[in-house]
Structure 1
Amino acid sequence: MTDPVTEALALWGMSGAACDFVAGRENRVYRVRGADGAFALRIRRPGLRTGAELRSELQWLDAMDRAGLSVPRPRPSLSGALLETVAGHAVDMVGWLDGRPMGQSRGALDLDDRAGTFFRLGRDMARLHAASDAFDPPPGFARIRWDIDGLLGEAPLWHRFWESPALDAPTRDMLATFRRHARADLEQACADLDFGLIHADLVRENVLVDGDALRLIDFDDGGYGFRLFDIATALIKNRKEPDYDRLKAALIRGYRSVRTLDMARLDLFMALRAVTYVGWIVPRMDEEGSPGRNAFFLEDARYFCWHWLTQPHLT
């Protein structure tokens, strides 16, 4: 595939700028070096988000940057637009953030200050939630919803996990049971749960460590959701770390240093986060490395769903 990089750079007044391809899973991303710094040129994956959702992401990022969060700052094109269309592709440009990923999925964490890093992640997550609550979305603002239907409805955001072709009969039965009980529990508790704009994908790869500072990137999956879902997302890939309990406690302590959050249903949201990955991989079963990822996701789903289903609240 040939990306319309030359045409896109011209719209931002950066014709001839040094440009290197860096990533290509959900979006195709290029690092652009201009006279006033480095930027990420993003050619958005067709069909993943609507134009309104893409513009809203950029408006949200702009507001979070203005609130002092270390997030990618949108760069308007020469026309003043945050989002352009080039050769049928939605295209935007955001500031390039320095740092190295906090870690890689399924690899051991290699951090100099493990608990301190998780404390700062919890703190910055809480700052993001607080700033998002203070944000006044403009007319037409639209983002996906990680609500009860987005997680457990008939057409969840990340596919019908309970129908994955990779499930054996016992796991299929357990996930169906979990879905039924989890929906009932969420419907009962929904009014009391903290809900608002969330990142929804604060996994290791999307948290950049730069000295004592953390940078939050990749807001593709951000939208309206339960704040506990963000906590669960940041924790779930770390459950096999030898000091997981200490990391979990540090993240929660960091969050609570900024704002309050009731953690009573965190185990439920750990299970909800786990089953979303079982659904996420369904349309990606043929991709390289998918069998290993799928096995990992199923292991997590069995572990967290069993843990939640066997708690006294269901007896």
Structure 2
Amino acid sequence: MEMEQYDTLTDGDMIAMANEVLTRYLPKHQGEATLICRSENATFKVKTATEQFALRIHRPDYHNALNIQSELEWLAALEAQGFVTPAPIADAQGTKVQHIRVSDDDLRFAVLFRWIEGDMPTTDIDPEQFEPLGEIMARLHLHSIEWQRPEWFKRLEWDHASMLSAEGHWGHWQKVPGLSPQDIETVQHAVDNIATHVHDYGKEAETYGLIHADLRLTNLLFHKGETRVIDFDDCGEGWFMHDIAAAMSFYEHYEHMGQWLNSLLQGYQKVRPLPQRDLNMLPIMIMQRRIQLLAWVGSHQQTEMAKSLGDHWVAETVRLCRDYLDDRWKVLKHAV
């Protein structure tokens, strides 16, 4: 059975749920909850008289309690190594992962985090600002390779099948509205081509491991010359090059994308030099990510992000698949 891909509760329902969850915390952590956004989860800003916090309520059928506890374990390990990460807050009973029983068939989880200060970039970002993103991304990957995880640690896997197959975590790309039979054929050819490349690439420890998996503009913060990464909700097992591809998310067709990628790679390779084999995979990973996002758009049409893309975004995706198949998509022309 195909899982539900988007939360069906109203914003009002979610706000009421947030206010109920906050009563479990110490008075100093309770405040006014304002809904910021909804996607795989609902995120709230909680403002008290002296502080701000971020409350995240997960949708059902995505992560279980062990998955979320595993995310928090990685965040704690990263913080211990000097990364600025959203630290979880325990409730009055010392519990960090809240269980919310909405109905017999609807169990949800919530976590309250300390607020991370910073400004979120837009598409007007100076391409040079992708360089520090590359540096912090490389540091995350080095930490992932070296970190000894607990035996109980468990996160989602982001491989070709879990992204692009009919059983993908975000649904199936063929279900997005607006695709003609010819479009579906074009995208399918790209999917098949990508499958061959990633199979040959493999999943060795130097190429595949624990990644953020959603390092895009909306999950970055700039604060006093420092680049910070937030929202580790999608972190899981995947290709390190997928993290680089994800930094281009939704804007793979954007005219400055090549400059963004060039700057990111310059920063990344200051910390973790990449062999040519990895660089050769980037166009494939970026195309794979774009089709993964096509699946997300199809299954999350109610979200503000999906609505904001406009009808042309799907057509641009098909065009990118055509260019990719014809070897006309030179995404690395500025980066190598």
Kindly tell me the number of residue pairs found equivalent between the two proteins. 305
Query: Which region of structure 1 is more displaced relative to structure 2, 189-198 or 26-35?
Result: 26-35
Task: Give the stretch that moved more between structures: 167-176 or 281-290.
Answer: 281-290
TM-score (norm 1): 0.86
**CA offset digits 1:3-48 (Å, max 9, x no partner):** 3445433433136833231324132333334577432122222333
1:100 maps to what in 2?
Answer: 119
Q: Whole-Å Cα distance in 1 between the matches of residues 312 and 134 of structure 2?
A: 25
Aligned-residue CA RMSD (Å): 2.6
Structure 2 distance, partners of 1:196, 1:136, is 12
Is it true that 1:126 corresponds to 2:142 in the alignment? no
Q: CA deviation at 1:238?
A: 4.3
Distance 1:15 1:236 in 2: 37
Match of residue 321, structure 2, among 301, 305, 311: 305
Question: What residue is the counterpart of 2:183 in the other structure?
Answer: 171
* Counterpart for residue 84 of structure 2: 70
CA contact 1:6–1:15 (8 Å) conserved in 2: no
State which of 220, 243, 258 in structure 1 corresponds to 2:271.
258
Task: Give the match's secondary structure for 1:200.
Answer: coil
1:267 to 283, 287, 290: 283
CA distance in 2 between partners of 1:48 and 1:311 (Å): 36
Q: CA deviation at 1:304?
A: 3.0
Cα 1:290–1:9, aligned 2, differ >3 Å: closer, same or farther? closer
The answer to whether the Cα contact below 8 Å between 1:200 and 1:233 also exists between their aligned partners in 2 is yes
> What is the alpha-carbon distance in structure 1 between the residues aligned to residue 19 and residue 176 of structure 2?
41
Which AA in structure 2 matches 1:68? Answer: G
Asked if 2 retains the 8 angstrom alpha-carbon contact of 1:69 and 1:127, the reply is no
Shift of 1:285: 3.4
Q: Provide the C-alpha distance between the structure 2 equivalents of 1:221 and 1:16, rounded to a whole number of angstroms.
A: 25
Match in the other structure for 1:56 = 70
Structure 2 CA distance for aligned equivalents of residues 286 and 39 of structure 1: 26
- Distance in 2, matches of 1:57 and 1:228, equals 20
Query: What SS does the aligned partner of 1:100 have?
Result: coil
Within 2, Cα distance between the matches of 1:18 and 1:191? 45
Show the 5 A alignment for 1:103-252: 103=122, 108-109=123-124, 111=125, 114-191=126-203, 194-239=207-252, 243-252=256-265
State the alpha-carbon separation in 2 of the partners of residues 306 and 75 from structure 1: 47
**Paired AA for residue 97 in structure 2:** L
Counterpart AA for 2:176: S
Q: Is the 8 A contact 1:9 1:15 kept in 2?
A: no
Q: For residue 85 of structure 1, what is the aligned residue in structure 2? A: 99
Counterparts in 2 of 1:11 and 1:139: CA distance versus 1, 3 Å: farther
Identity %: 25
